[in-house]
Amino acid sequence: MNKVRKPAPQLEGLIPYDPKYLPAEAFLSANENPSDVDAEVRELIARAIAKVPFNRYPDPLANKLRDLIAEANGLDRGCVLLGNGGDELLFDLALAWGGPGRTFLNLPPTFSVYAANARLTNTTVVDVARRDDFSIDEEAVLARVAEGDIDFVIVTSPNNPTGEQARPEFIAKLLAATDALVMVDEAYFEFSRATVRPLLADHQNLVILRTFSKAFSLAGVRLGYILANPGVIDEFLKVRQPYSVDAVSQAIGEVVFENRARFEPGIRQIIEERGRVMEALRTTGGVTPFPSDSNWILFRMEDAGAAWEYLYEHGVLVRDFSSAPLLENCLRATIGTPEQNDLFIRTLRDFVAKRREAQAAQSLGA
């Protein structure tokens, strides 16, 4: 038959995730590490991949990598699960703790994938919006979970795209106040140097999400992991794709994790550059940057849409949130290399200066 019946009703009106990638000299839109893995690590990776049997299925659970991560975190293997990027594990979370008749508490503005996964799985989404400064409305969250119907919550720390980490005291209070599963998304924790991992010992309802995509320069490889108590991991095992983490990714992940200390200088440079870019934004007229514990800075300015265009025309791609709900006139710039950051700041300042000249000319003419 040359026609097809409709797909599942929850797909109606759903727009596929679009990272809005465009080629640019300074690619500052995806919160990636600006440096690739170094030549020596690349050589080790090449040797490891040469030994991977391609005709065999991979270890479904990536146990070698699982053990490395468990040991580094002072946990048992049963407390770790790898996924095809953090994204897969976020989807697994919605499959395992969401569904019809189930409720997810979201703290927007935050990573849009959470709500999209909820919608796909017919999970009800309850929003507790952040305050004007993007801090979490802690009292409102605690009051909402006290109603007892929330099945899972995601607290992103540091929060994408706003930048600041959640207060650890708040996360501890939230974990104690509810039996909902609380995911703390620590995709960027290497840049905040803060983790709630110690809370795993006393909280069955905590799951921590991490990724190799940011600090470890492996966005192209697709590796993420969760840390949780074994009872929670067992539920994720029921919904995950059996072979989602391929053998090549496992081999790469093992080499990178064993050599993770080599990424430390790069992380330090990103943190230093973040301070420099923050100061430059603070001293650029009409631009209001929001504090960041991560590898990007969100900022608000008039005519943000026009600023985005101007930056792009001059080789700088940042992420445009200017018409996103709760993020009016906001742009997000990933911290790049010092040269990329210079180009970004110089171009943004050019835009501001040109706009002021145009306004001055207009008011003289009026």
Contact footprint for ligand PMP (CB under 6 A): 85-87, 111, 156, 160, 185, 187, 211, 213, 219, 224
Sign of CA dihedral 63, 73, 109, 94: positive
Residue given tokens 């040109």 in the structure block:
354
- Nearest distance in Å: CB 101, ligand PMP: 26
- Nearest distance in Å: CB 208, ligand PMP: 11
Closer Cβ to ligand PMP, 211 or 341, answer by number: 211
Classified as helix, coil or strand, 181 is strand
Distances (CA, A) of 121 to 7, 74, 85, 98, 284: 14, 34, 19, 7, 44
C-alpha–C-alpha distance, residues 17 and 292, integer Å: 25
Tell me the helix, strand and coil percentages in the chain, rounded to 5: 45, 15, 40
- Nearest distance in Å: CB 209, ligand PMP: 6
The pair of three-digit structure tokens given for residue 27, joined into one six-digit string: 């690619």
Closer Cβ to ligand PMP, 153 or 287, answer by number: 153
- Nearest distance in Å: CB 87, ligand PMP: 4
First-to-last alpha carbon distance for the chain, in angstroms, is 66
Distances (CA, A) of 150 to 50, 100, 218, 228, 256: 47, 13, 34, 19, 37
- Nearest distance in Å: CB 195, ligand PMP: 14
Closer Cβ to ligand PMP, 192 or 211, answer by number: 211
- Nearest distance in Å: CB 314, ligand PMP: 25
Closer Cβ to ligand PMP, 47 or 193, answer by number: 193
Closer Cβ to ligand PMP, 92 or 151, answer by number: 92
Within 13 Å, how many C-alpha atoms sit on residue 64's CB side?
A: 15
Residue nearest to ligand PMP (CB): 85
- Nearest distance in Å: CB 165, ligand PMP: 12
Classified as helix, coil or strand, 96 is helix
Closer Cβ to ligand PMP, 114 or 308, answer by number: 114
- Nearest distance in Å: CB 224, ligand PMP: 4
C-alpha–C-alpha distance, residues 193 and 74, integer Å: 17
Residue given tokens 């994720």 in the structure block:
236
Closer Cβ to ligand PMP, 121 or 156, answer by number: 156
Closer Cβ to ligand PMP, 157 or 347, answer by number: 157
Q: Which residues pair with 300 in a beta bridge?
A: 288, 330
Q: Is 29 exposed, middle or buried (0-12, 13-18, 19+ CB in 10 A)?
A: buried
